Structure 1
């Protein structure tokens, strides 16, 4: 999607691609198709097209509408079950009760595939909140787009902010440090440009809304998994922990309210918290993120 492969694409096609057929839909197995639907949401990319229907979106995946809806409903059910499991922990349930979101407020998550994921921290937070505090009518907006850099997030920000969020949770930057081509391995966005983009996002959000901003620092990757991924190797894609550490340092300097996933996931990153591609948080990782975010919001509000 977009000008470059998204963060999620390599995981879907790992081990299934044939030479010259990296994106041939006829070669995708059911598991890969489910992962595409989990992470790729054309309606966000094609939002300039009026009246885009689920039937049209299903066609893009070569599915009929019923099958597409059935697959999406599986993720919705998995989110509900996982959120309920989280709420079975009395401490987490108490945390949801104490979250400082006021009735009718809007919580907007700006991010890439780690947010766009149908099983993401934001979807878990949405479901847990709705199960625990349904009468508060807090609206959660998932503005994550797989593959999005800070440059692309900035490009669409003024439209995004028209929703006037009360809370803006930013989880971006991992795509900025993606490197393309061997041995040059140029990053998509330089660290200096990332710094300017972050400053611009912060300024626009502060001047055009009254939203409280929270920035999430992306975790480190599992380097050996990335190095072993045939899709990454064929397209000459890589992510370096040195770049992610530099990004983390930048966000700590630039952002006052920061949730640090590099500290949470560890260095080296715990493999259990990442999918087999070494790049994306697994469901266990997403649960760790939402737990940490709830705790962070409560601590910052006391």
Structure 2
């Protein structure tokens, strides 16, 4: 495709970008390597694929990236202004020089997700956070590409997966992707791979908070949906079965302000609430043996 001439940000106001396009780009998670990292696609090639797919110029793409970066920095600053949250950050088990890799689903992949906000905060403490989340990936698919994560030589791997395992497909039949036993086995296998093939400490945060019950039928008619009770049972089962796993709901209050329009993914405010809960859970995790 032919790219439009480069221009300054002043002649491309944010409202010139169609909201549907901005939403698609946000859902893709605009961090280098997040969308296509498991394919080994370098940043410039990824940019070309994104612009071609979404019908954006490279300048529009960079403008969106800059907007997301500023939003994450603002969220980080506002959260750190809260002494209680700042205390949580001080008590995280990571230390200067650590590399923390987040492997999550679409909630984590969003450009303004909890993981990207945390990345801004940790950067100021000399800790590197790499977000390797990809939307729609099941635990089976994560196993198939996990070597790419291990190749990063992480000190920590935070797995926030499992929700897509209990996803159902088909407006009528509603076939479930994986059984609960399969999901637990896969998550345990990911932990085994990390312990045997790297020095990383693994922390598992299973699934995600319950979906909005009022949106189940609407999502069912679209062909892909989650059942509230299955998301709940999966989370409880993984917490019970996997060492160091913790229940994200322990410190999280979910209300109508948490969910976006689809009733599955958090709003910006919801992502902040999720980060608080995750930070609470991580503070109870023992430091990596090499940091003790």
Normalised by the size of structure 2, how large is the TM-score?
0.83
Among 209, 228, 232, the residue aligned to 2:218: 228
Deviation, structure 1 residue 265: 4.1
Q: Is the 8 A contact 2:105 2:136 kept in 1?
A: yes
SS at match of 1:109: strand
Distance 2:249 2:85 in 1: 22
Q: CA deviation at 1:95?
A: 2.6
Aligned equivalent of 1:25: none
The reply to whether residue 146 of structure 1 matches residue 138 of structure 2 is no
Q: Which digits, 9 at most, give the CA deviation of each residue in 1:210-265, with x for residues without a partner?
A: 22221113111102123235xx513x222101211221122112222223134444
SS in 2 for 1:140: strand
The 5 Å alignment of 1:1-302 reads 30-41=18-29, 43=33, 44-45=35-36, 47-49=39-41, 52-131=45-124, 133=125, 136=126, 138-217=127-206, 218-229=208-219, 232-234=220-222, 236-265=223-252, 269-301=254-286
What are the superposed Cα offsets for residues 127-166 of structure 1, whole Å, 9 maximum, x if unpaired?
12224x2xx2x21111100111111111111221111211
Cα distance in structure 2, aligned partners of 1:250 and 1:298 = 22
The answer to whether the 8 A contact 1:169-1:214 is kept is yes
* Contact residue 107 and residue 265 of structure 2 kept, 8 A: yes
| Structure 1 residues 177-226: Cα deviation after superposition (integer angstroms, max 9, x where no partner) | 11112432111122222122112111101111222221113111102123
Give the RMSD, CA atoms, in angstroms: 2.1
Unpaired segments ≥5 residues, structure 2 = 1-16, 288-292
Name which of structure 1's ranges 81-90 and 49-58 shifts more when overlaid on structure 2.
Answer: 49-58
Residues 90 and 262 (structure 1), Cα distance of their counterparts in 2 relative to 1, 3 Å cut: closer
Hey, what's the Cα distance between the residues in 1 that align with 2:203 and 2:113?
17
Q: Distance in 2 between matches of 1:150 and 1:95?
A: 29
Q: Please, which moves more after superposition, 166-175 or 291-300? A: 291-300
Normalising by the residue count of structure 1, what TM-score does the alignment of the two structures yield? 0.81
Which ranges in structure 1 are unaligned for 5 or more consecutive residues? 1-28
How far does the alpha carbon of each residue in 1:25-57 deviate from its partner, in whole angstroms, 9 at most, with x for none? Answer: xxxx81121111111159533633456152443
Q: Secondary structure at the match of 2:154?
A: coil
User: Structure 1 residues 155 and 45 mapped into 2: Cα distance closer, same or farther (>3 Å)?
Assistant: same
Contact 1:37 1:72 survives alignment (8 Å): no
SS at match of 2:172: coil
Q: Distance in 1 between matches of 2:182 and 2:84?
A: 40
- Asked if the contact 1:176/1:187 (under 8 Å) is kept, the reply is yes
